[in-house]
Amino acid sequence: MLLRLDDISLAYGHVALLDHIKFQIDSGERVCLVGRNGTGKTSLLKVISGIVQPDEGTIWQQETLRIAYLEQEVPPDTEQNIFEAVAAGLGELGMLLTEYHHLSHEAHAAGAAALKRMAEVHARIDALHGWNINQKVETVLTRLSLPADQLLSNSSGGVRRQVMLARALVSEPDLLLLDEPTNHLDIRAITWLEDYLRDYPGALIFVTHDRTLMRNLASRIIDLDRGKLTSFPGDFDNYLRRKEEFLEIEARAASNFDKKLAEEEEWIRQGIKARRTRNEGRARALQAMRRERALRLEAPGKARFGIDAGELSGKLVVDLRRVSFRYGEQFIIRDLSTCILRGDRVGIIGPNGSGKSTLLRLILGEVAPTSGQIVLGARLEVVYFDQHRRLLDLERTVRENMSDSDYVTVRGRSRHVIGYLKDFLFPPARIDSPVSVLSGGERNRLLLAKIFTRPANMIVLDEPTNDLDVDTLELLEDLLADYEGTLLLVSHDRTFLDNVVTSTLVFEGGGKVTEYAGGYEDWQLQRRLASIEAPSRIRKPATMASSEKKAAAKSARLSYKEQRELESLPEKIEMLESEQAELHAAMGNGEFYRQSSDKIITTMDRLRAIENELKACYDRWEVLEKMKGEAEG
């Protein structure tokens, strides 16, 4: 047993978030904490971590238990760089690794004193068995695509939160608490995190709306509902079945209780006749039933909303013809041709910063392509859910963001704004709150409420699933599955993509965007099949297809020297990548740092030279291919 909660209670005002709950976690468990938005999941994690003290109850834990907690809140700006912020969670070892990181990067200009200090730091890290931890820090930074030397103060909120995730992971606590760890991560980082946590030796409690992560990771589900905590051993699908049975039993019991209460109320209304029976015990029992009914907490309601598909658009919705877009010399999208027809549901997948939102803005006409043509179909009525929620005015209230009056028009009929927002789980007391105080999930629901008042035969959703609870996600999935219009969806939610889209556009690097049939799992399957069938495993520039490579090798338009250069590049790249891998492996071994400073610096210099040489090879390869294409075009 690592930790146990006995009769823990916590309330804010009159709202009881935790009501005499009991919970225990053992070493090696992977526990997923689920519940509707606002039920107190974050508060429970804060109680477990010691940040918040409960009103009542006792917390038992091992004396040497080490806990790390990733909060939902974005950390504040500091003058640290990302490497320093991540290593800061490692105490003395973290400070030593940070110092060594700086010294190694300044080795070129270092004098004798600096090199001597570098050797001293190296020896201390060696004594603390810290080189494996250093490798772990660098691996986590790489997998999360975090630039080690970038200042935290110059980083976005999403990057700063990823830094805190990296810090929690590398500290290797006995108990790891993660509150929505996949927020701000792309699919590549999410799948890496999933694999990492599956092999994590300590215990894990995590909160997430990512159902694929729940299914693949959780060994037990704990459900927080109306202040009570219920444990469901097994996976997420088992939890869904048992939770449904639990709610059905609860509903039948409540129905029987209400029927009995109605009979007793009828008896007491008989007045004199009832008093004549002098059945005081029955009257006291009725009073007790009334109190019990008043204290009963009803199960939270579910969101209810619909989509007005408006007038049918033309058969052709969007036709992209050899569309490219770039910033300076960097291609975001290169030579994309695809046709989107009425009724298509297209998912857009790619790493953060790859250009997914840019593609949506090109289609919506907010930016113009560098080259190529975008043709839009007839009679399009478009609504756009953007990930930054720019349609919401943070200083205005929920009501004011919906309408300038007390009514909104939905599907051709007028509805009072309070009644309409109840369908999106906004209680009347929340209607006049400024949007700035809403949670992320509430803001997403408000934006959905706002855009769904408009008839639309094309819906564009950019990361709509962030912070939505599972019930609302499933309702949105059902609505989109029945939607008769056209859908463009950017999402990192793998289950949501699989349940909604019929095809995917995937950003594969270097501006290359490839279309695949089906959702996320279909894309993964097609990738695996393609890798099995590929004749060569040499990495090629993303913009060059194998047929283009063969054509380039045979080209008569290139000079003899250029043709020979093109033919030699694959072998040269393979040799450089092989040497690069060997150097990385050597540096990952603690023995590497027992060498003299000169040898360490020489190896680091060679690694940087290889990286620069590889970049030059890729750039040259791309130039030669472009020359060949222009000569043949």
| Annotated domain spans of the chain | 1-66+173-234, 77-172, 254-295, 316-530, 546-632
Rounded distance, CA 253 to CA 223, Å?
20
Burial 135-151 (b: 16+ CB within 10 A, else e): ebbbbbbebbebebeee
Rounded distance, CA 257 to CA 260, Å?
5
Q: Which sign, positive or negative, has the C-alpha torsion 200, 205, 209, 215?
A: positive
Where is average pLDDT lowest: 183-187, 319-323, 592-596?
Answer: 592-596
Burial of 53 (0-12, 13-18, 19+ CB in 10 A): exposed
Convert the pLDDT of each residue in 610-622 to its tens digit.
Answer: 877 877 887 787 7
Rounded distance, CA 287 to CA 88, Å?
60
pLDDT above 70 (res 487) = yes
Where is average pLDDT lowest: 72-81, 202-211, 537-546?
Answer: 537-546
Report residue 362's pLDDT band, with 50, 70 and 90 as the boundaries.
very high
pLDDT above 50 (res 200) = yes
**pLDDT value for 446:** 86
Q: What is the H or E stretch that residue 275 is in?
A: helix 272-276
- Distances in Å between the alpha carbon of 475 and those of 289, 467, 481, 496, 498? 36, 14, 10, 11, 15
Where is average pLDDT lowest: 108-112, 486-490, 596-600?
Answer: 108-112
**pLDDT value for 220:** 93
pLDDT above 80 (res 78) = no
**pLDDT value for 169:** 87
Question: Would you state the structure tokens that stand for residue 426, as one six-digit string?
Answer: 């906004």
Over residues 221-228, the mean pLDDT reads 89
Report residue 555's pLDDT band, with 50, 70 and 90 as the boundaries.
very low
- Percent of the chain beyond pLDDT 70? 79
Q: Which long-range contacts (CB under 8 A, 24 or more apart) does 509-514 make?
A: 509/354, 509/542, 510/331, 510/334, 510/541, 510/542, 510/543, 511/324, 511/326, 511/331, 511/332, 511/333, 511/334, 511/335, 511/355, 511/542, 511/543, 512/334, 512/542, 512/543, 513/333, 513/334, 513/336, 513/359
Q: Within 171-235, where are the H helices? A: 187-198, 211-217
Sequence-distant (6+) residues with CB within 8 A of 353 are: none
**Which one of 3.40.50.300, 1.10.760.10, 3.40.50.261, 3.40.50.720 gives the CATH number of domain 1-66+173-234?**
3.40.50.300
- Distances in Å between the alpha carbon of 617 and those of 118, 176, 505? 34, 43, 28
pLDDT above 50 (res 63) = yes
Sole residue written with tokens 């975090």: 146
Question: Would you state the structure tokens that stand for residue 340, as one six-digit string?
Answer: 């989107």
* Highest mean pLDDT: which range of 225-229, 559-563, 598-602: 225-229
Kindly state the DSSP code that residue 386 receives in the 8-state scheme.
Answer: -
Q: Crossing angle for the helix pair 546-553 and 597-632, nearest 10 degrees?
A: 80
Report residue 546's pLDDT band, with 50, 70 and 90 as the boundaries.
very low
Q: What residue type is assigned to position 212 of the chain? A: T
CA 524 to chain centre: 18
Question: Would you state the structure tokens that stand for residue 401, as one six-digit string?
Answer: 């963001």
Computed on alpha carbons and rounded to an integer, the radius of gyration of the chain in Å comes to 30
Where is average pLDDT lowest: 35-44, 72-81, 194-203?
Answer: 72-81
**pLDDT value for 588:** 55
Where is average pLDDT lowest: 80-84, 153-157, 501-505?
Answer: 153-157
Closest CA to 201 of 172, 179, 177: 172
Burial of 243 (0-12, 13-18, 19+ CB in 10 A): middle
Sole residue written with tokens 């043949």: 632
**pLDDT value for 544:** 45
**pLDDT value for 471:** 75
Convert the pLDDT of each residue in 371-429 to its tens digit.
Answer: 999 999 888 888 888 776 778 888 889 899 888 888 888 877 888 888 888 888 788 88
For domain 316-530, say whether CATH 3.30.43.10 is its number.
no
**pLDDT value for 551:** 44
Q: What residue type is assigned to position 215 of the chain? A: R
Sequence-distant (6+) residues with CB within 8 A of 194 are: 212, 213, 216, 217
Rounded distance, CA 293 to CA 257, Å?
9
pLDDT above 60 (res 228) = yes
Q: Within 501-596, where are the H helices? A: 520-533, 546-553, 560-587
Q: What is the dihedral of CA 615, 620, 625, 626, to 10 degrees?
A: 100
CATH class of 546-632: mainly alpha
**Residue 47 CB neighbour total at 10 angstroms:** 22
Rounded distance, CA 317 to CA 338, Å?
11
Over residues 468-497, the mean pLDDT reads 85
- Distances in Å between the alpha carbon of 50 and those of 47, 57, 170, 210? 5, 13, 20, 26
Sole residue written with tokens 């393609």: 530
Of the two residues 11 and 292, the one the predictor is more confident about is 11
**pLDDT value for 562:** 75
368: left (phi over 0), alpha (psi -120 to 50) or beta: beta
CB 382 within 8 A of CB 456: yes
CA angle at 181 for the pair 177 and 185, rounded to the nearest 5°: 160
**pLDDT value for 569:** 81
Closest CA to 420 of 324, 311, 305: 305
Same fold, 1-66+173-234 and 316-530: yes
pLDDT above 90 (res 484) = no
**pLDDT value for 268:** 67
**pLDDT value for 335:** 94
Report residue 556's pLDDT band, with 50, 70 and 90 as the boundaries.
very low
Please tell me the pTM assigned to this model: 0.67
CB 505 within 8 A of CB 338: yes
Of the two residues 85 and 358, the one the predictor is more confident about is 358
Kindly report the average pLDDT of the chain as a whole number.
80
**Residue 166 CB neighbour total at 10 angstroms:** 25
**pLDDT value for 290:** 65
pLDDT above 80 (res 177) = yes
One DSSP character per residue, 574-628 reads HHHHHHHHHHHHHHTSGGGGGS-HHHHHHHHHHHHHHHHHHHHHHHHHHHHHHHH
Rounded distance, CA 573 to CA 539, Å?
8
Question: Would you state the structure tokens that stand for residue 308, as one six-digit string?
Answer: 């007005």
Q: Could you give phi then psi for residue 572, rounded to 5 degrees?
A: -65, -45
pLDDT above 50 (res 174) = yes
**pLDDT value for 205:** 96
Q: Within 309-462, where are the H helices? A: 356-364, 398-402, 417-422, 440-451
Convert the pLDDT of each residue in 251-296 to its tens digit.
Answer: 777 777 778 777 776 766 666 555 555 566 666 676 676 666 665 5
CB 228 within 8 A of CB 7: no
Rounded distance, CA 219 to CA 358, Å?
39
Burial 192-214 (b: 16+ CB within 10 A, else e): bbbeebeebebbbbbbbbbbbbb
CB 32 within 8 A of CB 207: yes
Q: Which sign, positive or negative, has the C-alpha torsion 328, 332, 333, 335?
A: positive
Closest CA to 210 of 493, 580, 468, 592: 493
Sole residue written with tokens 């909660």: 5
Closest CA to 339 of 324, 318, 323, 360: 318
Over residues 477-496, the mean pLDDT reads 88
Convert the pLDDT of each residue in 561-588 to its tens digit.
Answer: 777 777 788 788 878 877 877 776 676 5
